[in-house]
Every structure is written in structure tokens, then in C-alpha cells.
Structure 1
Amino acid sequence: MRALELGFPGEMRDTLNSLVLTGAKTATTCLLDEYAEETEGLEYVGERQALLDNEGRRVATLEFIGVEVKLFGDVTWEHARAEGEGDASLEAWCDVHRRFWDRAGTPVDDRTLVVCLAFRVVADG
């Protein structure tokens, strides 16, 4: 089973995992280029992955219910809101994600291809 690690290790990952486990976070967004860098295929609807904590332990099993490749500028408010991170608007979500990827060394603009993933928790730890 493949695995998913959300955000940066540490407090951010703890927070994001907690949002998943409480049901507040049912989506995430990845850069398409990262799949090529990691020589990894896209997720597919029905695929299950282990959600990992900071120590690499499985905290849940996720099942993907939606996978879409689109331009960063075309991400919808519906998807952004499903990320459950408390952003007040699509513009706020975009700003937070631009800062995240800038910090990771991969600046994005509206033409950057992203993968919008929707999921549900099918098993805890």
C-alpha cells in the first residue's frame, strides 16, 4: 500500500492529520511535477493509501474518491473548502498554498498543474 504524508513534518503534519481524523479535511492538493520527480503514478479513484504521522506510522487508511489534474488557477472553492484548513475564501487558500510551495522551493502560479485529491477515511490507525 502506498502512503501519504501531508504538509511538512512536525506541527503542520500533526494538525493536518488531526483534521483528517476528525472529518474536517477530505481533500488535498499536490503538484503534478512532484509525481514525476518521485517516479510515482497518480492516485486513482478507489485506491487506498496509508496516512502517515511524523514517525512514519499509519494513523488511518484513506480511499480516494476524486482525482483531478487542473491548473492551480482553476481550483474551485468547493475543493479548497474541503481541505478543511479554515481558509475564509478561495483567495486565502491560494495565498496559503503559494506560501507553502514557495517554502518548499517550488513557486507556483495560476498555470501550474496540480492534482486535486478527494478522499474518505476507511480505517483508523
Structure 2
Amino acid sequence: MTSILREHDIEGLERFSFGDGGDLADSLLALVLAGRKTATCWDATLGQMTTVGKLMVACDRHGTPRAVLRTVKLFQSGFMDVSAEFARKEGEGDLSLDGWRAAHEDYFRRNGAFSPEMMLWCEEFELVARIDG
């Protein structure tokens, strides 16, 4: 069960937003808050951004803190080697691996980094707390 925190309870925790801003940040955050999204990934060339057990604050498009997440699993995978199970945990679209590949190829191309051979950091997380505005 998740708890509800106030912003002063999260002082000192690293903050981030999902995706590359705007509607995507808010829609992915909504999936997390609904319990549908429990995983994410990023281009491995950006480095390892978390460790197992680390707490981080997920923010909306405006940088407003909305949730505290804890990393529960972290591994590297090639883009084409991502499993259907991991794609489902990402919680996006129709939850299929084909849908995951199409959406993530679009995302990585938009950000100038797509290659079918690219490596990813794949993170699974749990929602620890919702942040009350």
C-alpha cells in the first residue's frame, strides 16, 4: 500500500519526469499512479541513472512532485532483446511487445539515438508514495 506524502517529506531526493516532456510526461506518470506502469528504460549511453533500492521523485510536466518510486530491479538489454514481459510492465499502449517497440523507436528517434542494436538500461520500480500537493 502506498502512503501519501507532502513535498517537504521528499527533500533531498532526486527528481525526474518520464519521457521527453509535456503530454508524454503526464500520461506516463498517470500510468504509474494507476498501477499500470511499473517499468521504464533509457538509452544506456546516458549512463546508469539509478541503483536497486534508490528512491526517486517522479514529477509531472511542470516539475511538480507527484510520486516516490523505488527501483526494485535494474539490468541492461539490447533494444531488440527486450522481452514481452518487460514491455507489459512498461504499461503503455496495448501492452504488446510490437507496440512497445514502435513507441520506443519513435521516442529514441525523436531524441536522436535510435538503433536496433542500441543498449538500454531497463528498470522495474514500485510506487512507494503519492505526493499530496
- Flag whether TM exceeds 0.5 (same fold): yes
Task: Kindly indicate whether residue 76 of structure 2 is the aligned counterpart of residue 64 of structure 1.
Answer: no
- CA deviations over 1:27-46 (Å, ceiling 9, x no partner): 011111122xxxxx441111
2:122 alignment partner, one of 111, 116, 121: 116
Matches within 5 A, 1:67-82: 67-82=74-89
Matches within 5 A, 1:4-83: 4-35=16-47, 41-83=48-90
Corresponding position of 1:105: 112
Aligned length: 119
**Structure 1 unmatched runs, 5+:** 36-40
Task: Kindly indicate whether residue 96 of structure 2 is the aligned counterpart of residue 84 of structure 1.
Answer: no
TM-score normalized with structure 2 length: 0.84
Q: CA deviation at 1:70?
A: 1.4
Q: CA deviation at 1:66?
A: 0.7
CA RMSD of aligned residues (A): 1.3
Query: What is the identity percentage for the equivalent residue pairs of Structure 1 and Structure 2?
Result: 33
Kindly name which structure, 1 or 2, has the bigger radius of gyration based on alpha carbons: 2
TM-score normalized with structure 1 length: 0.89
